[in-house]
Chain A
Amino acid sequence: MTLADFKYSDVIHRCFRCGYCKFPINWMDVNNCPAYARFRIETYSCGGRLWLTRAWLSDEIDWTEHLAEILYSCTACKNCEVKCPLRFNADILNMIVAAKSEMVERGKIPAAVKEFLENIQRHGNPYGTSRAKRAEWIEGTGIEQYHGQDLLYYVGCVGSYDTRAQQSARVLGKVMQKAGVSFGVLGNDESCDGNEVSKLGEETLFEMLAEDNIAQFKELGVQRIVTLSPHSYNAMKNDYPTYGGEFDVSHYTQLLLRLVRDSKLDISRGFKAKVTYHDPCFLGRWNAEYEAPRAILHAIPGVELMEMERNRDGSLCCGGGGGNFYIDLLGGSESSPARRRVREADETGANILAVACPTCLTMLEDAVKAEELEDRLAVRDIAEITAEACGIE
């Protein structure tokens, strides 16, 4: 493909690298693009990536491993899109994804991205762990297989396989059980939702995952879905309808808030702590849900909620999106976004960093260890905080 054939050939040249794509709320701090925060080189910002894409598609520069890494270090956090002041801003992230798609078609992608996508092709999850182990997190919880209950609880790959995220997947199940919610899971029959696959530019694989999942949900008579991960929520709410998958999809924080407001959950035991909340990109910037998680925390007796300076649509990504929780192009430095973010959480004086995403949970918990903040800052999922307030062990 040449630049002329590129879907965005008529707009990509319009980015003149003003730099707003790196900003949080104003230009006091240009570190809000997670990859730029990590490397502090212009090419790692959205504007830089667009210029590199244009140069690559015009044959002004060759493909190199480094070029691929620069593109794939984009976590698809959408900060650039929210902050870009120009009229074509709705497409700047799509342009990066389209450039990744071209690399996928040419087969020239970083080794870790190749492994990630091949594992999903083969095993339905990025870790390369067997499909037969997907349901292991359920053991001992009494959570039922989906057989027509009111709600399908879609857990996702991270919640199903990552040891730490499995804990939050289990706890959310217990909270729903306690509230008397009629729900079931797919267990070993669950497959990847495809959100990261789509952001990594593997469109055909995403289509296949979406179509297979939709067919399975329809066959089982699923109408309502609650997801543990905002990534699954995003794919199912915004992308699945394109493939004929119209379901009533909620993120679990939206469900928990309804349960609290309808007095289905007794949270009177409370949770006594200073808590700061980290907005996950795929719940916040991608789906404008900033309030449900905060409203739950406000409702829980004992919670003293303190905001980090960067919050809501100015929140700094944990660095795990766009498959980066696995391909890890942003790790290994004190400038890594996750480490920056836990330092910001620590600065608020909070002793709990609340999250609403299994990817953020694992990324930020690792960062707390790397920063040696374990004695004063713990990362907890909102499902876990709610469970404690309900007296669930």
Chain B
Amino acid sequence: MDIVACIKRVPDTSETDDIKIDASGKDIEKSNLAFKLNDWDEYVLETAAQLKEKLGGSFTAISVGPKVWEEVLRRALAMGADKAIRVDEDVVSLDPGCVARILSKVIEGLRYDLILFGAQSEDFGSGQLGAMVAEMLGVPHATLVVSLETEGKVIHVCRELEAGALEAYSIELPALLTIQTGINRPRYISLGGIKRAMKAELKVISLDNLGLSLNGLTQELKLERLEFPHRGKEAVIISGLPRESAEKLAHILYSSGIF
């Protein structure tokens, strides 16, 4: 099976007090932040790696971003990708529609049975990219996939709906899936693995190579400004011996109707 996995690099925002909006009001200050692979994309890479191990075929990872984004592609190569492609364009200011056009152009030129995206990104979280690329390529898709099984040219998937309900589909390949967290347990990528992946092929292409130009990509969405959500009520700190504080916490949970 030939698999294409689209991944992105995002700021590590696990510590929310590190996040500050910059002077433009349209982006966050990044100088003190560490960057990493988008959480959902870890599951994408694990899915692709497992399918390749089981079924053989090719596994190509793609990203659209500047040179520093190559670190996430190196992780993909360390996880078993045969090839990595970076489109050399800073897409942070572009809307998902433009990025989808770039990615679908790249994928058009590749052999593929299955295209994988993360269900959403940790930074902008629009969750649109996968579905848009599927439409542009004219392939069927399923979003928020929590399990999958292949059977010849068909893939059986379960999508996650509200309140724990699942929706099952059988889709003919080629198809596109957006992967939900929890579908598998992403493996650890050792630093030794990443170092070895430095020798693997990483192809860099430009918009020009794809027959596209920044001016030709019409943005449908325009970011006006970023702002923090309003803070709610103050948190309650429960003190006392473990047994007393556990009792107080149980009382709060019980009286608020959670149990």
Give residues 190-219 of B contacting A (CB, 8 Å). 190-193, 195
B238 within 8 A of partner (CB): no
B36 within 8 A of partner (CB): yes
B191 touching A122 by the CB < 8 A rule? no
Q: CA–CA, A171 to B12, complex, Å?
A: 32
* Interface segment, one of A73-81, A126-134, A236-244, A319-327: A126-134
B124 within 8 A of partner (CB): no
A123 touching B34 by the CB < 8 A rule? yes
A108 touching B187 by the CB < 8 A rule? yes
A128 touching B242 by the CB < 8 A rule? no
A219 within 8 A of partner (CB): no
Among residues of B, the one whose C-beta sits closest to the C-beta of A374 is B241
**Shortest Cβ distance from residue B177 to the other chain A in the assembled complex, whole angstroms:** 22
Among residues of A, the one whose C-beta sits closest to the C-beta of B36 is A122
Which chain A residues border B191 with CB–CB below 8 Å? 121, 202, 204-205, 208
A130 touching B18 by the CB < 8 A rule? yes
Show the binding face of A for B, using Cβ within 8 Å: 104-109, 111, 113-114, 117-118, 121-123, 128-132, 202-205, 208, 369-370, 372, 374
Interface code B166-185, partner A: CB below 8 Å = 1, 0 otherwise? 00000000000000000001
Which chain B residues border A130 with CB–CB below 8 Å? 15, 18, 32-34
Which chain A residues border B92 with CB–CB below 8 Å? none
B189 within 8 A of partner (CB): yes
Show the binding face of B for A, using Cβ within 8 Å: 12, 14-15, 18, 32-34, 36, 79, 185-193, 195, 241-243
Q: What is the predominant secondary structure among interface residues of chain B facing chain A?
A: loop
Interface centre among A113, A117, A122, A130 (most CB of B within 10 A): A130
A105 touching B15 by the CB < 8 A rule? no
Of all A-B residue pairs in the complex, the 3 with the closest CB atoms, nearest first, are A107-B187, A204-B192, A204-B191
Q: What is the predominant secondary structure among interface residues of chain A facing chain B?
A: helix
A203 touching B192 by the CB < 8 A rule? yes
Q: CA–CA, A113 to B190, complex, Å?
A: 12
Interface pairs (26), CB distance under 8 Å: A104-B188, A105-B190, A105-B192, A107-B188, A107-B193, A111-B185, A117-B188, A118-B188, A122-B12, A122-B34, A122-B36, A128-B14, A128-B15, A129-B15, A132-B18, A132-B32, A202-B190, A202-B191, A203-B192, A204-B191, A204-B195, A205-B190, A208-B191, A369-B242, A372-B242, A372-B243
With contact pairs A130-B15, A132-B18, A132-B32 given, residues A107 and B241 touching in the complex (Cβ less than 8 Å): no
